[in-house]
Structure 1
Amino acid sequence: MKDFLEIFRFELRFRFRQVSTYIFFAVMLALAVLFISTDVVQIGGGSGRVQGNAPYVITVAGTILIAFGSVIASATMGTAVYRDFEANAHELFFATPISKAGYLLGRFFGAYVVTAFIFSGIPLGFLLGTVAPWADKASFGPFNAGAYLSFIGIFLLPNLLFIGALFFIFGALTRSLLAIYAQGVLLLIGWGIAQSLLSSLDNRVLAAYFDPFGLGAVSQTVRYWTVSERNMQLVPLSQHILGNRALWVGIAGLIFAVGYRLFAFSKSPLVLSRTKGAKNKGAGPLEPSRLLPRPTASLAPLASASGAGDFFRLAGFYLREIVTGVPFLVITLAGMILLIVSAVNADKIFDTTVYPVTRVMAATIRDGFTLFFLILITFYAGELTWRERVLRLDQIADSQPISTGIVMAAKVAATLAMLVLLNLVLIVTGIAVQAVKGYFNFEIPLYFAILFGTVFPTLLCLTLLAFFLHAVLNNKFFGHTALILVSLSGAILPTLGLERNLYLFAGGPTVVYSDMNGFGPFLTPLFWWSAYWLSFSIIAAIVANRIWVRGTETGLLARWRRSRFGAGSLAALALAGAAFVGTGAYTFYNTDVLNRYETSKGLTKLRAKQERDYKATWEKKPMPRITAVKMDVTLYPERGQYELKGTYTLRNKNTVPVAEVALDMDRDLTIKAMTFGIPATPGIADTRTGFRTYKLERPLAPGEETTLDFHLAYEKRGFRNGGMATNIAENGTFLTQPGPTIGYQPGSEISDETERRKQKLPKRPRRAPATDKAALANTYIGNDADWIAFEATVRTAPDQIAIAPGYLQREWNENGRRCFHYKMDAPIRNFYSFLSARYAVKRDKWIDKGGKPVALEIYYHPAHTYNLDRMMAGMKAALSYCSNNFSPYQFRQMRILEFPAYASFAQSFPNTVPYSESIGFIAKVDETKDDIDYPYYVTAHEVAHQWWAHQILGANVEGAEMLSESLAEYTAIKIMEQKDGLARTRKFLRFDLDRYLRGRGSEREGESPLVKVQEQQYIHYPKGALAFYALSERIGSERL
Structure 2
Amino acid sequence: MILLIQKVIRQKYAGLALTALFALIMATSIGKKVFSYPLLKFLQPFQGDFSDMNGFGSYTVVYGERLGFGLGVVLMLLIIFNLTKRNLLRWPAIIALLMSISLMYWTGSALMKGYQPKNEDADLRAKANYESAFRKYQHLPQPTITAITTRVDLFPEQNAYHFSGTYKLLNKTKQHIHSVLVNLGNEMNINNAVFINGSEKIRIRKPYQLIRLQKALLPNQEARFEFDLSYAWKAVNGHHSFNAIVQNGSFMRISRFYPQFGYLSANEITDENHRKQFRLGKLTAIKAFNAPKVANDDFINLNMRISTPLNQTAIGVGELTRQWKDANRNYFQYQTSSPIPFRFAISSAAYAITRAQYKGRNFEIYYHPSHPENVQHLLKNAEMTLDYCEANFGTYPFKTIRFAEVSSFTQGFAATAYPATIYMTEDMLFHANIKGDKQQDVINELAGHELSHMWWGNNQISPDERDGAAMLTETLAMYTELMLLKKMYGKAKLLEKIKMHLGIYLDERGFTTEQPLYQVKNENIHISYSKGAVMMYRLGELIGEEKVNLALRNFLAKNKYPNPKPVSIDLLKEIYLLSDERFHVEIENMFMKTGGLKEGMKL
TM-score surpassing 0.5? yes
- CA distance in 2 between counterparts of 1:533 and 1:742 reads 47
Instruction: Find the residue that maps to 1:677 and give its secondary structure.
Output: strand
Task: Check whether the contact 1:469–1:483 (CA below 8 A) recurs between aligned residues.
Answer: no
- CA distance in 2 between counterparts of 1:466 and 1:1028 reads 66
Instruction: Within 5 Å, give how 1:35-54 maps onto structure 2.
Output: none
- CA distance in 2 between counterparts of 1:757 and 1:885 reads 51
Amino acid at match of 1:483: F
**Structure 1 residue 734, shift from structure 2 partner:** 2.2
Q: Residue 502 in 1 paired to residue 39 in 2?
A: yes
Task: Check whether the contact 2:309–2:329 (CA below 8 A) recurs between aligned residues.
Answer: yes
Q: Residue 1015 in 1 paired to residue 522 in 2?
A: yes
Instruction: Within 5 Å, give how 1:354-753 maps onto structure 2.
Output: 464-465=1-2, 468=5, 472=9, 474-475=12-13, 478-479=17-18, 481-487=20-26, 490-491=29-30, 494=33, 499-504=36-41, 506=43, 510-540=47-77, 572-591=96-115, 596-614=116-134, 616-678=135-197, 679-682=200-203, 685-686=205-206, 690-714=207-231, 716=232, 720-723=236-239, 727-735=244-252, 736-737=254-255, 738-753=257-272
Instruction: Find the residue that maps to 2:40 and give its secondary structure.
Output: coil
Amino acid at match of 1:1028: M
- CA distance in 2 between counterparts of 1:660 and 1:503 reads 48
- CA distance in 2 between counterparts of 1:1032 and 1:544 reads 79
- CA distance in 2 between counterparts of 1:507 and 1:763 reads 43
CA gap 1:573/1:979 in 2 versus in 1, 3 angstroms: same
Amino acid at match of 2:17: F
Per the alignment, residue 808 of structure 1 pairs with 320
**Structure 1 residue 507, shift from structure 2 partner:** 5.4
- CA distance in 1 between counterparts of 2:260 and 2:186 reads 12
Amino acid at match of 1:677: I
Pick the structure with greater CA Rg. 1
- CA distance in 2 between counterparts of 1:752 and 1:466 reads 48
CA gap 1:521/1:608 in 2 versus in 1, 3 angstroms: farther
- Return the match for 2:532 from 1015, 1024, 1029: 1024
Amino acid at match of 2:117: Y
Per the alignment, residue 451 of structure 2 pairs with 943
- Return the match for 2:420 from 911, 919, 923: 911
Amino acid at match of 2:318: G
Instruction: Within 5 Å, give how 1:144-155 maps onto structure 2.
Output: none
Task: Check whether the contact 1:521–1:724 (CA below 8 A) recurs between aligned residues.
Answer: no
**Structure 1 residue 798, shift from structure 2 partner:** 2.0
Per the alignment, residue 789 of structure 1 pairs with 301
**Structure 1 residue 932, shift from structure 2 partner:** 0.3
**1:440-493 per-position Cα deviation (integer Å, ceiling 9, x unaligned):** xxxxxxxxxxxxxxxxxxxxxxxx347626853631762464135414875476
- CA distance in 2 between counterparts of 1:522 and 1:877 reads 41
Report which of the two has the higher share of strand. Answer: 2
**Structure 1 residue 998, shift from structure 2 partner:** 4.0
**1:689-727 per-position Cα deviation (integer Å, ceiling 9, x unaligned):** x3233322311111111221222233x486544347862
Task: Check whether the contact 2:165–2:228 (CA below 8 A) recurs between aligned residues.
Answer: yes
CA gap 1:539/1:939 in 2 versus in 1, 3 angstroms: same
- Return the match for 1:974 from 462, 470, 483: 483
**1:531-571 per-position Cα deviation (integer Å, ceiling 9, x unaligned):** 2233334445556767xxxxxxxxxxxxxx99986966666
Task: Check whether the contact 1:883–1:889 (CA below 8 A) recurs between aligned residues.
Answer: yes
CA gap 1:598/1:768 in 2 versus in 1, 3 angstroms: same
Instruction: Find the residue that maps to 2:39 and give its secondary structure.
Output: coil
- CA distance in 1 between counterparts of 2:240 and 2:393 reads 42
Task: Check whether the contact 2:307–2:330 (CA below 8 A) recurs between aligned residues.
Answer: yes
Per the alignment, residue 885 of structure 1 pairs with 392
**1:106-154 per-position Cα deviation (integer Å, ceiling 9, x unaligned):** xxxxxxxxxxxxxxxxxxxxxxxxxxxxxxxxxxxxxxxxxxxxxxxxx
Amino acid at match of 1:893: T
Instruction: Within 5 Å, give how 1:278-357 maps onto structure 2.
Output: none
CA gap 1:817/1:578 in 2 versus in 1, 3 angstroms: closer
Per the alignment, residue 988 of structure 1 pairs with 497
**1:275-331 per-position Cα deviation (integer Å, ceiling 9, x unaligned):** xxxxxxxxxxxxxxxxxxxxxxxxxxxxxxxxxxxxxxxxxxxxxxxxxxxxxxxxx
- CA distance in 1 between counterparts of 2:105 and 2:228 reads 40
CA gap 1:907/1:753 in 2 versus in 1, 3 angstroms: farther
CA gap 1:1039/1:526 in 2 versus in 1, 3 angstroms: same
Greater mean deviation of Cα atoms: 618-627 or 761-770: 761-770
Task: Check whether the contact 1:682–1:695 (CA below 8 A) recurs between aligned residues.
Answer: no
Instruction: Find the residue that maps to 1:620 and give its secondary structure.
Output: coil
Task: Check whether the contact 1:500–1:721 (CA below 8 A) recurs between aligned residues.
Answer: no
**Structure 1 residue 813, shift from structure 2 partner:** 2.0
- CA distance in 2 between counterparts of 1:1013 and 1:466 reads 60
- CA distance in 2 between counterparts of 1:658 and 1:742 reads 12
- Return the match for 2:355 from 843, 859, 869: 843
Q: Residue 895 in 1 paired to residue 416 in 2?
A: no
Task: Check whether the contact 1:631–1:792 (CA below 8 A) recurs between aligned residues.
Answer: yes
Higher relative contact order (CA 8 A, sep 6+): 2
**1:936-978 per-position Cα deviation (integer Å, ceiling 9, x unaligned):** 2100111011011122232011111111112112221221222
Task: Check whether the contact 2:42–2:67 (CA below 8 A) recurs between aligned residues.
Answer: no
- CA distance in 1 between counterparts of 2:321 and 2:484 reads 33
Task: Check whether the contact 1:925–1:931 (CA below 8 A) recurs between aligned residues.
Answer: no
CA gap 1:636/1:526 in 2 versus in 1, 3 angstroms: same
Task: Check whether the contact 2:249–2:406 (CA below 8 A) recurs between aligned residues.
Answer: yes
CA gap 1:921/1:718 in 2 versus in 1, 3 angstroms: closer
Q: For structure 2, which runs of at least 5 residues remain unmatched after alignment? A: 549-603
Amino acid at match of 2:476: L
- CA distance in 1 between counterparts of 2:445 and 2:3 reads 50
Task: Check whether the contact 1:636–1:797 (CA below 8 A) recurs between aligned residues.
Answer: yes
Task: Check whether the contact 1:501–1:721 (CA below 8 A) recurs between aligned residues.
Answer: no
**1:743-766 per-position Cα deviation (integer Å, ceiling 9, x unaligned):** 222223333446545655444344
Superposition TM-score, scaled by structure 1 size: 0.48
Task: Check whether the contact 2:156–2:250 (CA below 8 A) recurs between aligned residues.
Answer: yes
Greater mean deviation of Cα atoms: 885-894 or 753-762: 753-762
> Percent identity among equivalent residues?
27
Q: Residue 829 in 1 paired to residue 341 in 2?
A: yes
Task: Check whether the contact 1:789–1:826 (CA below 8 A) recurs between aligned residues.
Answer: yes
Greater mean deviation of Cα atoms: 700-709 or 500-509: 500-509
Superposition TM-score, scaled by structure 2 size: 0.80
Per the alignment, residue 955 of structure 1 pairs with 464
Per the alignment, residue 443 of structure 1 pairs with none
**Structure 1 residue 911, shift from structure 2 partner:** 0.8
**Structure 1 residue 670, shift from structure 2 partner:** 2.9
Task: Check whether the contact 2:26–2:44 (CA below 8 A) recurs between aligned residues.
Answer: no
Report which of the two has the higher share of helix. Answer: 1
Amino acid at match of 1:799: N
CA gap 1:786/1:509 in 2 versus in 1, 3 angstroms: farther
- CA distance in 1 between counterparts of 2:87 and 2:505 reads 67
Amino acid at match of 2:144: R
Q: For structure 1, which runs of at least 5 residues remain unmatched after alignment? A: 1-463, 547-560, 780-784, 848-852
- CA distance in 2 between counterparts of 1:935 and 1:907 reads 13
RMSD of Structure 2 on Structure 1 (CA): 3.1
Task: Check whether the contact 2:381–2:444 (CA below 8 A) recurs between aligned residues.
Answer: yes
